[in-house]
Amino acid sequence: MSAAFLRAFRLEGEGIVHGFGTRHLEEAAPELLEELKEGCARQVHGDRVLWVKDGVRPGAEEADALATDEARLVAVRTADCVPVLLADPRTGRVAAVHAGWRGTIARVVERAVESLVRAGSRQEDLLAAIGPAIRACCYEVSPKLAARFEAAFGPGVRQGQNLDLAIANRISLVRAGVSAARIEVLDLCTFCDPRFHSFRREGERAGRQYSFVRGGSVS
Ligand SMILES: [Zn+2]
């Protein structure tokens, strides 16, 4: 059977339970799918960070980043946008972030790091994993948007008129104080790789993949 999830080496090494779902998740782990759906907020391409705990129903809230320090999962769904998972193995605090181009420009990953730090985490302890997303090979945008990204994140985020949102989010994480050596980028393009749903490739009928991380694991 094809893998339901891909994992990030560094998070795996610290015992952080997490996964970047593929399109095979639905048949491979239907019971987990329900938990993942409940673990997602209503994503609106903003920069709000929602803390999830008892009494908070993510599905009733608008947020593009979810954080928790409890033994529960937080999740995001994507189909070309960038899923980013953050974990503090010292405290068990985690966050899941959905960053399309709007969220990337709004620096939603920086807001998530700030929120973890406000809760007591140290930037140097954080691990980050940037999951499958549409990459520079396939993500052509308007000249105006490409220029806007170059102004915000430097020339490395564009190749001509194509953007790499994963790289932009890596830059954002480093700006927020996460060590570059502790950021893993899964080099996978959702448009190129048929294991993933892709909005650009499949249009309105595209499904979504779920990415999640579970809090509460302390190394
Ligand atoms: Zn591609």
Domain of 36, CATH number, reads 3.60.140.10
pLDDT of residue 139: 97
Q: Residue 219 to residues 15, 17, 89, 92: CA-CA distances in angstroms? A: 7, 12, 6, 8
Q: Are 74 and 61 in contact (CB under 8 A)?
A: no
| Res 219: pLDDT | 66
Say if 67 falls within a structural domain.
yes
Domain that holds residue 22: 5-200
Sign of the alpha-carbon torsion through 94, 96, 103, 148? positive
Tell whether 184 is covered by a domain. Answer: yes
Determine, yes or no, domain membership for 218.
no
Separation of 164 CA from ligand 1 center, angstroms?
10
- Tell me what pLDDT residue 29 has: 86
What digits encode the pLDDT tens for the residues 40-76? 999 999 999 999 999 999 999 999 999 999 999 999 9
140 in a domain, yes or no?
yes
In a domain, residue 15? The reply is yes
Dist. CA 52 → ligand 1 center (Å): 34
Asked, for residue 53, whether it belongs to a domain, the answer is: yes
In a domain, 155, yes or no: yes
**Domains held by the chain: number:** 1
Q: In terms of pTM, does the model score above 0.95? A: yes
Arithmetic mean of pLDDT over the chain: 95
Confidence of residue 30 (pLDDT cuts 50, 70, 90): confident
Q: Is residue 164 part of a domain?
A: yes
Task: Please give the distance, rounded to the nearest whole angstrom, from the Cα atom of residue 159 to the centre of ligand 1.
Answer: 12
